[in-house]
Structure 1
Amino acid sequence: MVTFRVFGPFLFSLGRRYDKADSLFLSMSNHIRDKSTRKEAIWRQQTLLAAFTSSGAKQRINTAAGSVVEEIVTAVKYFADPREEEAIKIAVRRIVKLAAETWRFARLEREMITATMPAVYDQDHEFAGPDYWSAHKTEDTPIASLAGTAVPDERPKLLLRIFPVIHREPKHENLRAADEPPDEGCIYHHGLALYDDAKAVETRREEIKQAAYNPTPLSPASTSSSRGR
């Protein structure tokens, strides 16, 4: 949900000003793209430039960001400690604000830049291969690119993708300079994933095992109350 809502191509440029505006423009983009990648690139760049420089653009971006924050918080609050709800909202707001401010520059490029996070069970996706998903470690920074990270022969089971692959498509030949070599695209950031041998997973597995061996005893008050009933 974070990947889809934050990195949607038109979300923060058009927001909710018009009904289904982001979906409509995304559909138009895909339709043009099927016929001509070059024409779609030029159309998208001009459309986004007009959206970002029009009157009230910043207000629309803030409105869209607010709706995204609420949607994400609503989705995760059932899995979180209720006492931490406000802290979670603040953290999500910071991520969305940073994405809105940074991603708008990438959207003005002619080449499509996308963030991809396939489902765990999706093995047919272009970026589902293990080379794109390095193991996340709590002591590592999630910001620096992990390109070139050595991949072992046998990988543990992938449990959860936690940061998307951010990549740029190849430059169209008609948009390259005469002396510019062929372009094959670029991966700005490899994905991060949680595997079943991660320290956090091992710790939680041990906690569950200990809880099974040592169930929480009933308090004296609960025991007497049960006997009375």
Structure 2
Amino acid sequence: MTESRIALVTGGNRGIGRAIAEDLMAVGYRVAVTSRSGEGGPEGALTVAADVTDSASIDAAFSRVEEELGPITVVVANAGITQDTLLLRMSEDDFTSVIDTNLTGAFRVIKRATKGMLRAKFGRVVLISSVVGLYGSPGQINYAASKSGLVGIARSLTRELGGRGITANVVAPGFIETEMTAVLPEETQQQYLASIPAGRFGRVDEIAKTVRWLVSDDSGYISGAVIPVDGGLGMGH
């Protein structure tokens, strides 16, 4: 069945998004990814330009994917940014820019996607959040707020459209080995590792495999869930 399904991964040109796109292609999905430049996506995927802060840009990206691949019934909202700083130094723009990309951006993408899902009577929405969304983190009030807000979107969407064959779930990664963690000082990395029960950072493929399962037929009775992939860091949050 996956061969006939089209998946769109926002921010699929690097890191976790790229790994998700590559994994879905490996099991037979036809995959499109968005990047701000419209370039840099994985080989075999259709890469389209999209700015998640601009509804018209999102609409144009969806239209191109629909024209070239067909109706999109799987959406992974992964695009996100950080503007880390402590509250007393955080400007209003630091806060609103992160919210507009990470939270309102996901809303824009999902709103456009659900039209096709309703027609197909099938849809899978996966929102890439973070352990920080429920655990909290100093210097990340804006980021944590945006990532916890995704839980409210998934659960409200489930209540609105759960009877139409559409599921919406959240994946909450912990510290994952990406370019972002690689640049952390060794001392900082060791401090983070000490707080992770698994004793290691996660891998992008571990996030990708979780997403693959959530968008499959096997998870059709799971919706509004938050799946932590964090080595136990956020237990109870």
TM-score calculated relative to the size of structure 1: 0.25
Structure (1 or 2) with the larger CA radius of gyration: 1
TM-score calculated relative to the size of structure 2: 0.24
**Higher-strand-fraction structure:** 2
